[in-house]
Amino acid sequence: MKEQEQKCRARRVGDPAYNGEACRPRDLTRRLFPMIGTLALLFFQGLETCAAPELFTLKNDKVEVAVDARGALVVLKNLQTGQDYAGGQPLWRLYFDRKTGQKENEVRAPENAPEIRRVGDGLELRYGSLKAGDSVLRMSLKLTLRLEDGLVRFGSTVANEEPHTIIRELHYPLVGHCPLPADHKLLTTQRGGQLFPNPRQQILAAGNNPPYMAPSQFYRQMDQKYPGHNSANCFALVGATQGLYLASHDLTFQSTWHGLRLYPDAAGAFTALEVGLYKYPNCMQGQTWACDANVIAPYAGNWHQTAKLYRQWADTWWRQRPVPLWVRQMKGWQRVIFVHQYGEKFFNFADLPGRMFKAGASVGVNAVLAFGWWQAGMDNGYPDAYWTTDAAQGGDAAWARAIAAFRKQGGRLMLYFNGKLIDEDSAFYRNGSGRQICYLDNTGAPYTEQYRFKGLGTFTGHYNARTFVTADTGREEWRKMLLKMADRALALGVDSVFYDQLGYGEDSANWDVSGEFPVPNTRLMADKAGALKTIHDYLDAKGHPGIALGTEHFTDVTAQHVDYIHNITGACGPTDFTEWIRYAFPEVILSDREIRDDTDVPRRVNHAMLKGLRSDIEIYRCRDLIDQTPIYQQYLAQVNRLKDKFADTLLLGLYRDTDGFVNDNPKVSARSFVNGNRMAVVVTQSAAPGATTRISAPGYVFKEADSVGAVEMSKLAGGGQELKVGRDGLAVLLFEKE
Q: Which residues contact 499 (CB under 8 A, 6 or more apart)?
A: 417, 418, 419, 482, 485, 532, 535, 549, 550, 551
Q: What is the DSSP string of 450-513?
A: EE----SSSHHHHT--EEEEEB-TTSHHHHHHHHHHHHHHHHHT-SEEEEET-SS--SS--EE-
Residue 21, pLDDT > 80, answer: no
Confidence band for 1, pLDDT divided at 50, 70 and 90:
very low
Q: Cα dist. 158→89, 139, 145, 166, 562 in Å? A: 21, 7, 15, 11, 36
For the stretch 227-264, pLDDT in tens is 999 999 999 999 999 999 999 999 999 999 999 999 99
For the stretch 393-420, pLDDT in tens is 999 999 999 999 999 999 999 999 999 9
Q: Whole-number mean pLDDT of the chain?
A: 92
Confidence band for 13, pLDDT divided at 50, 70 and 90:
very low
| C-alpha R_g of the chain | 29
d(Cα 412, Cα 404) in Å, to the nearest integer?
A: 10
Q: Determine the Cα angle at 439 with ends 436 and 444, to 5°.
A: 80
Confidence band for 321, pLDDT divided at 50, 70 and 90:
very high
Residue 50, pLDDT > 80, answer: no
Average pLDDT over residues 421-432: 96
Average pLDDT over residues 42-56: 55
Confidence band for 209, pLDDT divided at 50, 70 and 90:
confident
Average pLDDT over residues 516-543: 96
Report how far Cα 558 is from the mean position of its chain's Cα atoms. 12
d(Cα 585, Cα 338) in Å, to the nearest integer?
A: 33
For the stretch 328-343, pLDDT in tens is 999 999 999 999 999 9
The confidence score (pLDDT) of residue 621 equals 96
Model confidence, pTM: 0.92
The confidence score (pLDDT) of residue 33 equals 35
Average pLDDT over residues 344-352: 97
Q: Which residues contact 566 (CB under 8 A, 6 or more apart)?
A: 335, 369, 498, 500, 550, 551, 552, 553, 591, 593, 616
Tell me, letter by letter, the H, E, C secondary structure of 85-110: CCCCEECCEEEEEECCCCCCEEEEHH
SS3 at position 221: strand
d(Cα 208, Cα 221) in Å, to the nearest integer?
A: 8
d(Cα 1, Cα 13) in Å, to the nearest integer?
A: 18
Confidence band for 282, pLDDT divided at 50, 70 and 90:
very high
d(Cα 304, Cα 659) in Å, to the nearest integer?
A: 9
SS3 at position 587: coil
Average pLDDT over residues 543-567: 96
Residue 668, pLDDT > 90, answer: yes
The confidence score (pLDDT) of residue 20 equals 39
The confidence score (pLDDT) of residue 460 equals 87
Average pLDDT over residues 121-144: 97
The confidence score (pLDDT) of residue 479 equals 98
Q: Determine the Cα angle at 632 with ends 626 and 635, to 5°.
A: 125
SS3 at position 4: helix
Confidence band for 51, pLDDT divided at 50, 70 and 90:
low
The confidence score (pLDDT) of residue 211 equals 83
The confidence score (pLDDT) of residue 9 equals 31
DSSP letter, residue 275: E
d(Cα 588, Cα 591) in Å, to the nearest integer?
A: 10
681-701 as b/e: b if 16+ CB within 10 A: bbbbbbeeeebebbbbbeebe
Average pLDDT over residues 558-581: 97
Average pLDDT over residues 425-434: 95
Residue 28, pLDDT > 70, answer: no
The confidence score (pLDDT) of residue 543 equals 87
The confidence score (pLDDT) of residue 23 equals 35
Contact 520, 510 (CB under 8 A): yes
Contact 719, 683 (CB under 8 A): no
Residue 599, pLDDT > 80, answer: yes
Average pLDDT over residues 717-732: 94
Tell me, letter by letter, the H, E, C secondary structure of 282-305: CEECCEEEEEEEEEEEEEECCCHH
The confidence score (pLDDT) of residue 45 equals 40
SS3 at position 575: coil
SS3 at position 119: strand
Picking from 365, 363, 361, 360, the residue whose alpha carbon sits closest to that of residue 330 is: 365
d(Cα 415, Cα 413) in Å, to the nearest integer?
A: 6
Contact 362, 626 (CB under 8 A): yes
Average pLDDT over residues 603-611: 98
Residue 34, pLDDT > 60, answer: no
Residue 10, pLDDT > 50, answer: no
Report how far Cα 418 is from the mean position of its chain's Cα atoms. 22
Counting DSSP H helices and E strands in the chain, the numbers are: 16, 44
Confidence band for 12, pLDDT divided at 50, 70 and 90:
very low
SS3 at position 6: helix
The confidence score (pLDDT) of residue 719 equals 86
Between helix 601-611 and helix 630-645 the angle, nearest 10°, is 20
DSSP letter, residue 320: P
Residue 27, pLDDT > 70, answer: no
Contact 555, 503 (CB under 8 A): yes
Contact 72, 91 (CB under 8 A): yes
d(Cα 555, Cα 626) in Å, to the nearest integer?
A: 29
Q: Cα dist. 415→370, 400, 410, 491, 636 in Å? A: 5, 12, 16, 12, 24
SS3 at position 558: helix
Please give the domain boundaries of the chain with CATH numbers for all domains: 2-44 (no CATH), 55-314 (2.70.98), 325-566 (3.20.20.80), 654-737 (2.60.40.1180)
Q: For strand 615-617 and strand 332-337, is the pairing parallel, antiparallel, or unpaired?
A: parallel
The confidence score (pLDDT) of residue 715 equals 93
d(Cα 458, Cα 614) in Å, to the nearest integer?
A: 34
401-425 as b/e: b if 16+ CB within 10 A: bbbebbbeeebbbbbbbbbbbbbee
The confidence score (pLDDT) of residue 52 equals 63
Average pLDDT over residues 193-213: 93
Q: Which amino acid is at 144?
A: T
